[in-house]
Amino acid sequence: MRLRCGPHTLDLSQPIVMGILNVTPDSFSDGGRFIDSTRALDHAQRMLEAGAGIIDVGGESTRPGAADVSEEEEIRRVIPVIDALANRFSVPISVDTSKPAVMTAAVEAGATLINDVRALREPGALEAAARTDAGVCLMHMQGQPRSMQLEPHYDDVVAEVKAFLVERAAACEAAGIARDRLVLDPGIGFGKRLEHNLALLAHLKALAEPGLPLLLGVSRKSLFQALLGRRVESRLAGGLAVATAAVLSGAAILRVHDVAETVDAVKVALALRHAGYQ
């Protein structure tokens, strides 16, 4: 399986670790740490040296209750960082955004993957992505970040999330975005209770659409507070457990804060897979 992202074609026969680079003041895990461009670049370099294959740059927090950010402010935050990354490193750069103008500016600055928690449903987003040659990650989210955790409800979360992702992939193809540019994300923690998240994680194979890779992001999320009673800074072990299980279930990209540790977990999971783990 391959994913085409502009000039890059990613071989997903082995999972890729995507390193998170938040340039926001209010992200739940590392808000404010990498607003400074120099710190952001240094952190990106450390993640690449630790084994990251993609750097994901985000300029707007999507944690529950997060405030909206204007297009102008988001562009101000992410474009200088993306431009500097593209000039310094030859790896795929992802932009974590739902705004068409940010997508366009980011790709012009050097981003080669659009990672959208709203799956290109904002007005103009589908058309903006189609005008680029970037890869596109389509994520499932019930509701909006401010209110998504208030009363999430599903009759069959696995079936409903898969149906949504299949529909959005079809919409992308109809708009001219080739299938080999698409990756799907079930949106763990986005408009889902603990039982919904666990059901999705337990049925990742059922979520896979033929020919389309799965991206999974669980790093430091609140499901580990619910499961383990752990604060944000103490959720690494839980994240590694899920990362290992996800690789064994076929996940192709893992979006994480803790790159070096996840790279090791992926290597162990791959060794088990190659040894015939069932």
pLDDT at 1: 85
What CATH number should be reported for the domain holding residue 201? 3.20.20.20
120 inside domain? yes
277 inside domain? no
Q: How far is CA 241 from CA 117, 207, 244, in A?
A: 24, 20, 5
Domain residue limits at 79: 2-272
Which candidate, 46, 50, 62, 97, places its Cα nearest to that of 76? Answer: 97
Residue 275's pLDDT band (cuts 50, 70, 90): very high
Active-site hit among 63, 168, 221, 235: 221
Q: How far is CA 177 from CA 137, 148, 151, 180, in A?
A: 12, 28, 33, 8
228 inside domain? yes
What are 145-172's pLDDT values in tens digits?
666 566 789 999 999 999 999 999 999 9
What are 171-189's pLDDT values in tens digits?
999 999 999 999 999 999 9
Average pLDDT of the chain is: 92
38: phi then psi, degrees, rounded to nearest 5 = -65, -45
52 inside domain? yes
pTM of the model: 0.93
* Least confident window among 23-32, 128-137, 143-152, 221-230: 23-32
278 inside domain? no
Active-site hit among 131, 255, 267, 273: 255
Tell me whether residue 99 is one of the annotated catalytic residues: no
What are 54-77's pLDDT values in tens digits?
999 999 987 766 678 899 999 999
Q: How many domains is the chain partitioned into structurally?
A: 1
pLDDT over 90 percentage in the chain: 83
